[in-house]
């Protein structure tokens, strides 16, 4: 099964990007539609073992997760929505890998 990187727009007009796994591009586009997303771009990613391996898994330190959780709860209690809170925390994190995880 191939992996496809996508850029899509949701019902609220927000642009999202991510990865979807499907046997072909038509099925990938259909999976996005079922999620309520309209695909802007959809391109096949190289398979594992090929050049440009798409993900590497790194551990996130418990202390980093603890700080994130505390800050996230504080921002939510202050009345901001989840998306805005995550964007703020993504910009503020000192751990570059954790910033991409939040994204």
> Kind and range of the H or E element at 18?
strand 15-22
43-72 per-position pLDDT tens digit: 888 876 544 445 556 788 888 889 999 999
CA atoms lying within 13 Å on the CB side of residue 10: 7
Q: Is the pLDDT of residue 98 over 90?
A: no
Lowest-confidence range among 18-22, 27-31, 55-59?
55-59
DSSP string, 36-92: T-EEEEEEEPPPTTSSS------PPPHHHHHHHHHHHHHHHHTT--HHHHHHHHHHH
| pTM for the structure as a whole | 0.46
pLDDT at 52: 46
- Please say whether the dihedral angle defined by the alpha carbons of residues 74, 97, 65 and 48, taken in this order, is positive or negative: positive
Give the residue, 60 or 9, on which the prediction is more confident: 9
> In this structure, what token pair is assigned to residue 56?
């590497």
pLDDT at 1: 79
Q: What percent of the chain has a predicted confidence (pLDDT) above 70?
A: 90
**3-state class of 34 per DSSP?**
helix
């Amino acid at each position: 099964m191939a992996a496809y990187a996508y850029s899509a727009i949701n019902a609220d007009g927000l642009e999202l990007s991510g990865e979807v796994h499907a046997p072909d591009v038509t099925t990938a586009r259909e999976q996005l539609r079922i999620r309520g997303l309209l695909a802007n771009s959809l391109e096949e990613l190289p398979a594992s073992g090929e050049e440009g391996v798409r993900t590497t898994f790194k551990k996130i330190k418990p202390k980093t997760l603890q700080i994130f959780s505390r800050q996230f709860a504080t921002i939510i209690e202050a009345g901001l929505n989840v998306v805005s809170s995550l964007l703020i925390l993504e910009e503020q994190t000192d751990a570059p890998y954790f910033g991409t995880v939040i994204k």
